[in-house]
C-alpha cells in the first residue's frame, strides 16, 4: 500500500514532467561532466601508467655525440639504476615517391636481446627484424597507417646522406612515442614523421658508431632521486658530447600527454559546479511555486494531523526523485561519453590498449553532490512550507502587494501598461529574477569560455607564423656548419632568401629557478625569423644580452636588467652569465634569443650556424624539397605551411568535438532555465493573462507579456554572462598554459555575439514550447474561480 503522500508525489512528478525533466537534465549535465572528465582523465592516466609499466618506459633520457659502449658499465653502476640501455637514435629523411614534401624518420636501434630492454615495443602486426639484418625495420603504427605500409612492403630512408631501401617486417607502438612530435613541429603529423626501429648493426654501419652509442636510457629504482641520477649520468657523458640528460617529465611525448591530461582534469573541475548551482536554483524556484500553489493543501494536511516533518519529507522526496532521475541520466551519459572521450584520446595518442577505470567512488561523489545541491535548493522553499500555521495556510495568500519596491517605476518614461506589468513583476520577485538571470548568464558564460579559443588560435597562428616566423621552410643541419653554408643554401633551387640561425641547448638559471631550452642565435636584425615584443613590434638582437620569452621570464622570475646563468650543454660546455636585455612574445615553448655572433663568442666557437630559414619560390617548391633531401648535410626540413595546416587541422578536430559538447551543455542550461522560468511565470500570471484575453488582448499580445519577461531576463543575463565567461576563460588560460605552450587570451567581439545568439535561440525554442499553453489559456475557467 503506497502512502497517500507518496502517491501525491508520483502524481506531481508526472503532472510536472516537463519541468522535472528540464531540472533533471541540468543536474544530469553536472553529473555527466563530473563523470566524463574524471572518468576520461583517470582512464587515460591509468592506461598510461600501465602502458609505461608493462613496456618498461625509461625514467631518464640522454643524447651523446659518440660514447664507447664500455661506458655503459659505469652508467649501469650509477646508484639506483635498475637498467641502462645504450641506443643509436638518429634522424633520417624520408624518400617516398608519393610524397614530395620533406618528411623525417626517427631511427632507433633495437636492443640486441630482441624484445627485452626498455621502451619495449608493442607489435601490432608482423614480427621484429632479424637482429642481423641491415634491411629490416619495424615502423610506428601512425606512420605506417598514414602511408598504408604493411609488413612485406618496402620504403627508402636517407641515413647519413645514403639512401637505404628497407623492408617492413612489423608495425609497432612504443611508450616513448605516444605523442609522436616531429622535430620542429607543433602537432604530431604521422604522415611526415615516423619512427623506425632497426637492428643495431645496420645503424652502427650507417652512422659509423661501431661499439658506440648516441643515446642512453635509464630505468631507476622506485623512489630513487631522478636529479641525482641525472647529475651522475651527465658527469659520465659530458666528455662524449652529452647534451644533458632529461627526466621523464621533460620527455617530449610524456610532457605533451601530461599537458593534455591536465587540461582534461581542469575541465572536470570547472564545469560541474556551474551545473549543480543552476540546478539548485531551478529546484528552488520550482518548488517554491509548487508550495505556494499547495498552500491550502499543506494547511489541510497539518489540520488533520500530519506533522511538519512528514510534509517536509514529502517535498524533499519530490526533489530527491528529480535528483535521482538527473543522477541516473547523468551517470549513464557520463559513462558513455567518458568511454567515448577516452577512446578518442586513445586513438589520437597511440595506446595499445585502454584501461577503463570504473571508480565507484567518483560515481558516489557525483550522486551525493547532485542530491545535496538539489536538496539545498529545496531547503528554503520547504522551510517556508512547514513554518506555515495551518489556519493561515488554509486561507488564501494575501494578494501580491506591489507597493514597496516600485516607487522608481512611477518615474518611468512612456511605458505601456503591459511593460509596467513586466517590470513590476521582475522587481517584485528579485530572487527569482536573479536566479533566471544568473542561470542564463551561466549558459552564455560556458559558450564564451569555449568559443574564444578559435580567435585565440587564429591570433596565435597569426603572431607566430605571419609576424614572427616568416620563413617558408627551415633546414636544420645534421651538425653545426660554417656560416658560409648559408650562402650555399641560397644557391639551391627556389630559394629567394636565406637567414642563418644557431640553436644551442642550454640550462638557464636565475637564483634557484632553472629551465632547459635551446638558445637561438639570430642576425642582429632578423628578417625571416623575427622576435616580437609583447606589443608585436620586431626586436633587434642586443649586442650581448639575451631576449627571453614571457613564459621563460615568468618561469625564471627575471626582468630586463637581471643577470642569468647560462650553462651551454654543447661543445666546450661553457657557463656564462648574461644580462636579460628584453622580453619577447612567444606562445610555443620557452624561448631565449641572442645575436648570432654574440652566441658563438659566448660558446667560444667560430662563425658557425645550425641551420637556415628560407623564403622559397612557390613554383620551385618541389625542386627545392628534392635538392634539400639530396644534400647530405640536411638534418631535417620543416615547412611552415605544412606545420600550420597540421596545427589547424588537429585543433579543428579536437575543438569541434569540444565545442559541440559545450554548445549542448549550454543549450541544456538555457532551455532548462527558460522553460522552468516561463512555466512558473505562466502559473503565477495565468489568471492575469486570461483576464487580458477577456479584455480583448490578442493571443500574440498576451504571449508578448510573458515573453517580454523572458526577453528581459535573457537581455539582463548577457553582460553578466559575458563577464563570467571572460573570467572562466581566464581560468582556463591559466589551467592550459604550461612550459610547452601558452594560450593567448583573445576574446573577439563575435565570440560574445555568437554565445548570445546560441543562448537566445535556445531560449526562443523553449519559449515557443510555452506558447501553446498561453494560447490555450482558459478564459472562462479563470473567471469562475478565485485564486
For binding to other proteins (CB under 8 A), which residues are involved? 398-403, 416-418, 420-421, 424-425, 428, 687-688, 691-699, 701, 779-780, 782-786
Q: Which is nearer to other proteins, 660 or 778 (CB)?
A: 778
Q: Which is nearer to other proteins, 512 or 785 (CB)?
A: 785
Residue 403 CB, nearest distance to other proteins (Å)? Answer: 6
Q: Which is nearer to other proteins, 421 or 473 (CB)?
A: 421
3-state secondary structure of 533: coil
User: Angle CA(141)–CA(146)–CA(150) in degrees, nearest 5?
Assistant: 60
Residue 618: exposed, middle, or buried by beta-carbon count in 10 A (0-12, 13-18, 19+)?
A: exposed
Q: Which is nearer to other proteins, 309 or 786 (CB)?
A: 786
Rounded Cα distance between 271 and 293, Å, is 34
Q: Which is nearer to other proteins, 361 or 414 (CB)?
A: 414
Residue 682 CB, nearest distance to other proteins (Å)? Answer: 15
Phi then psi for 385, rounded to 5 degrees?
-65, -45
Rounded Cα distance between 197 and 87, Å, is 11
Residue 410: exposed, middle, or buried by beta-carbon count in 10 A (0-12, 13-18, 19+)?
A: exposed
Q: Which is nearer to other proteins, 455 or 704 (CB)?
A: 704
Q: Which is nearer to other proteins, 152 or 407 (CB)?
A: 407
Residue 709 CB, nearest distance to other proteins (Å)? Answer: 11
Q: How far is CA 395 from the centre of its chain?
A: 57
Residue 773 CB, nearest distance to other proteins (Å)? Answer: 16
Residue 285 CB, nearest distance to other proteins (Å)? Answer: 18
Total length of the chain: 787
Q: Which is nearer to other proteins, 305 or 407 (CB)?
A: 407
Alpha carbon separation from 269 to 35, 266, 276, 735 (Å, rounded):
11, 5, 12, 11
- What is the helix (H) or strand (E) element at residue 190, kind and residue range? none
Q: Which is nearer to other proteins, 309 or 784 (CB)?
A: 784
Phi then psi for 191, rounded to 5 degrees?
-75, -40
Q: How far is CA 518 from the centre of its chain?
A: 26
Contact 318, 20 (CB under 8 A): no
Residue 713 CB, nearest distance to other proteins (Å)? Answer: 16
Residue 694 CB, nearest distance to other proteins (Å)? Answer: 6
Residue 412 CB, nearest distance to other proteins (Å)? Answer: 11
Residue 695 CB, nearest distance to other proteins (Å)? Answer: 6
Alpha carbon separation from 758 to 456, 528, 718, 761 (Å, rounded):
20, 42, 11, 5
Alpha carbon separation from 718 to 77, 732, 753 (Å, rounded):
65, 20, 9
Q: What is the largest CA-CA distance in the chain?
A: 103
Q: Which is nearer to other proteins, 730 or 779 (CB)?
A: 779
Residue 782 CB, nearest distance to other proteins (Å)? Answer: 8
Handedness of CA 694, 697, 701, 705 (dihedral sign): negative
Q: Which is nearer to other proteins, 164 or 425 (CB)?
A: 425
Q: Which is nearer to other proteins, 280 or 713 (CB)?
A: 713
Rounded Cα distance between 371 and 321, Å, is 9
Q: Which is nearer to other proteins, 429 or 736 (CB)?
A: 429
Q: Which is nearer to other proteins, 730 or 783 (CB)?
A: 783
Residue 395 CB, nearest distance to other proteins (Å)? Answer: 15
Q: Report which of 301, 388, 378 is spatially closest to residue 3, judged by C-alpha positions.
A: 301
Residue 741 CB, nearest distance to other proteins (Å)? Answer: 55
Alpha carbon separation from 357 to 41, 46, 227, 286, 306 (Å, rounded):
9, 7, 32, 37, 47
Handedness of CA 484, 485, 489, 491 (dihedral sign): positive
Residue 416 CB, nearest distance to other proteins (Å)? Answer: 6
Residue 685 CB, nearest distance to other proteins (Å)? Answer: 9
What single DSSP character describes residue 787?
-
**In 10 A of CB 109, how many CB atoms?**
24
Contact 23, 676 (CB under 8 A): yes
Q: Which is nearer to other proteins, 665 or 774 (CB)?
A: 774
Q: Which is nearer to other proteins, 100 or 418 (CB)?
A: 418
Handedness of CA 147, 152, 155, 161 (dihedral sign): positive
Contact 555, 569 (CB under 8 A): no
Q: Report which of 104, 33, 757 is spatially closest to residue 443, judged by C-alpha positions.
A: 757
Residue 406 CB, nearest distance to other proteins (Å)? Answer: 8
Cα dihedral 250, 255, 256, 257 in deg (nearest 10): 150
Rounded Cα distance between 409 and 393, Å, is 32
Residue 687 CB, nearest distance to other proteins (Å)? Answer: 7
3-state secondary structure of 305: coil
> DSSP characters for 469-493?
B--SEEEEEEEEEETTHHHHHHTST
Contact 243, 569 (CB under 8 A): yes
Q: Which is nearer to other proteins, 165 or 781 (CB)?
A: 781
Residue 269 CB, nearest distance to other proteins (Å)? Answer: 43
Rounded Cα distance between 502 and 784, Å, is 90
Q: Which is nearer to other proteins, 296 or 605 (CB)?
A: 296
Phi then psi for 77, rounded to 5 degrees?
-85, -5
Residue 699 CB, nearest distance to other proteins (Å)? Answer: 7
Residue 479: exposed, middle, or buried by beta-carbon count in 10 A (0-12, 13-18, 19+)?
A: exposed
Contact 153, 136 (CB under 8 A): no
Rounded Cα distance between 734 and 269, Å, is 14
Amino acid at each position: 500500500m503506497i502512502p497517500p503522500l507518496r502517491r501525491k508525489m508520483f502524481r506531481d512528478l508526472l503532472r510536472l514532467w516537463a519541468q522535472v525533466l528540464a531540472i533533471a537534465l541540468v543536474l544530469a549535465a553536472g553529473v555527466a561532466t563530473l563523470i566524463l572528465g574524471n572518468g576520461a582523465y583517470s582512464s587515460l592516466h591509468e592506461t598510461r601508467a600501465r602502458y609505461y609499466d608493462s613496456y618498461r618506459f625509461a625514467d631518464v633520457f640522454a643524447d651523446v655525440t659518440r660514447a664507447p659502449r664500455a661506458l655503459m658499465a659505469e652508467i649501469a653502476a650509477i646508484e639506483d639504476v635498475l637498467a641502462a640501455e645504450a641506443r643509436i637514435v638518429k634522424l633520417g629523411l624520408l624518400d617516398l615517391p608519393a610524397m614530395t614534401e620533406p618528411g623525417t624518420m626517427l631511427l632507433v636501434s633495437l636492443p640486441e636481446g630482441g624484445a627485452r630492454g626498455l621502451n619495449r615495443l608493442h607489435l601490432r602486426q608482423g614480427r621484429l627484424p632479424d637482429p642481423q639484418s641491415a634491411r629490416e625495420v619495424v615502423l610506428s603504427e601512425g606512420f605506417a597507417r598514414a602511408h598504408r605500409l604493411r609488413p612485406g612492403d618496402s620504403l627508402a630512408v636517407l641515413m647519413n646522406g645514403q639512401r637505404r631501401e628497407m623492408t617492413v617486417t612489423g608495425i609497432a607502438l612504443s611508450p616513448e612515442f605516444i605523442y609522436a612530435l616531429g622535430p620542429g613541429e607543433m602537432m604530431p603529423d604521422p604522415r611526415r614523421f615516423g619512427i623506425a626501429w632497426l637492428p643495431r648493426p645496420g645503424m652502427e654501419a650507417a652512422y659509423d658508431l661501431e661499439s658506440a652509442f648516441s643515446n642512453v636510457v635509464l630505468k631507476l629504482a622506485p623512489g630513487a632521486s631522478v636529479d641525482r641520477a641525472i647529475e651522475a649520468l651527465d658527469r659520465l657523458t659530458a666528455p662524449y658530447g652529452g647534451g644533458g640528460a632529461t627526466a621523464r617529465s621533460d620527455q617530449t611525448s610524456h610532457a605533451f600527454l601530461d599537458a593534455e591530461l591536465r587540461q582534461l582534469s581542469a575541465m572536470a573541475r570547472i564545469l560541474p559546479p556551474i551545473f549543480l548551482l543552476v540546478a539548485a536554483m531551478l529546484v528552488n524556484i520550482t518548488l517554491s511555486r509548487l508550495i505556494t500553489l499547495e498552500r491550502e493543501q499543506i494547511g489541510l494536511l497539518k489540520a488533520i494531523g500530519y506533522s511538519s516533518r512528514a510534509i517536509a519529507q514529502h517535498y524533499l522526496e519530490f526533489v530527491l526523485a528529480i535528483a535521482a532521475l538527473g543522477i541516473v541520466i547523468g551517470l549513464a551519459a557520463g559513462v558513455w561519453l567518458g568511454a567515448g572521450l577516452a577512446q578518442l584520446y586513445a586513438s589520437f595518442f597511440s595506446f595499445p590498449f585502454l584501461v577503463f577505470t570504473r571508480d565507484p567512488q567518483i560515481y558516489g561523489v557525483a550522486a551525493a553532490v547532485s542530491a545535496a545541491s538539489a536538496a539545498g535548493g529545496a531547503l528554503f522553499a520547504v522551510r517556508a512550507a512547514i513554518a506555515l500555521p495551518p489556519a493561515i495556510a488554509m486561507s488564501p495568500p494575501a494578494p501580491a502587494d506591489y507597493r514597496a519596491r516600485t516607487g522608481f517605476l512611477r518615474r518611468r518614461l512612456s511605458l505601456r501598461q503591459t511593460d509596467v506589468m513586466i517590470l513590476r513583476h521582475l522587481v517584485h520577485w528579485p530572487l527569482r529574477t536573479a536566479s533566471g538571470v544568473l542561470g542564463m548568464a551561466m549558459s552564455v558564460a560556458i559558450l564564451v569560455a569555449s568559443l574564444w579559443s578559435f580567435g585565440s588560435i587564429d591570433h596565435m597562428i597569426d603572431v607566430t607564423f605571419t609576424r614572427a616566423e616568416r620563413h617558408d621552410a627551415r633546414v636544420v643541419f645534421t651538425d653545426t656548419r660554417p656560416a658560409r653554408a648559408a650562402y650555399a643554401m641560397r644557391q639551391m633551387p627556389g630559394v629567394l632568401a636565406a637567414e642563418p640561425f644557431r640553436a644551442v641547448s642550454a640550462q638557464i638559471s636565475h637564483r634557484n629557478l632553472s629551465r632547459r631550452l635551446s638558445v637561438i642565435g639570430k642576425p642582429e636584425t632578423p628578417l625571416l625569423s623575427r622576435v616580437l615584443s609583447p606589443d608585436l613590434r620586431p626586436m633587434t638582437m642586443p649586442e650581448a644580452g639575451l631576449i627571453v620569452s614571457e613564459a621563460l621570464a615568468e618561469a625564471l622570475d627575471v626582468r630586463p636588467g637581471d643577470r642569468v646563468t647560462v650553462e651551454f650543454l654543447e661543445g666546450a660546455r661553457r657557463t656564462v652569465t648574461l644580462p636579460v636585455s628584453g622580453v619577447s612574445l612567444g606562445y610555443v615553448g620557452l624561448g631565449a634569443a641572442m645575436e648570432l655572433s654574440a652566441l658563438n663568442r659566448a660558446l667560444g666557437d667560430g662563425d658557425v650556424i645550425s641551420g637556415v630559414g628560407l623564403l622559397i619560390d612557390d613554383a620551385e617548391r618541389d625542386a627545392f624539397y628534392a635538392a634539400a633531401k639530396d644534400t647530405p648535410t640536411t638534418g631535417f626540413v620543416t615547412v611552415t605551411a605544412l606545420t600550420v595546416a597540421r596545427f589547424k587541422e588537429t585543433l579543428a578536430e579536437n575543438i569541434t568535438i569540444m565545442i559541440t559538447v559545450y554548445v549542448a551543455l549550454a543549450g541544456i542550461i538555457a532551455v532548462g532555465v527558460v522553460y522552468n522560468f516561463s512555466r512558473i511565470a505562466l502559473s503565477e500570471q495565468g489568471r492575469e493573462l486570461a483576464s487580458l484575453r477577456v479584455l480583448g488582448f490578442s493571443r500574440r499580445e498576451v504571449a508578448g507579456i510573458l515573453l517580454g519577461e523572458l526577453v528581459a531576463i535573457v537581455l539582463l543575463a548577457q553582460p553578466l554572462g559575458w563577464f563570467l565567461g571572460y573570467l572562466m576563460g581566464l581560468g582556463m588560460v591559466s589551467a592550459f598554459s604550461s612550459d610547452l605552450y601558452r594560450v593567448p587570451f583573445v576574446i573577439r567581439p563575435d565570440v560574445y555575439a555568437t554565445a548570445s545568439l546560441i543562448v537566445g535561440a535556445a531560449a526562443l525554442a523553449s519559449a515557443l514550447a510555452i506558447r501553446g499553453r498561453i494560447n490555450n489559456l482558459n478564459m472562462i475557467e479563470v473567471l469562475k474561480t478565485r485564486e
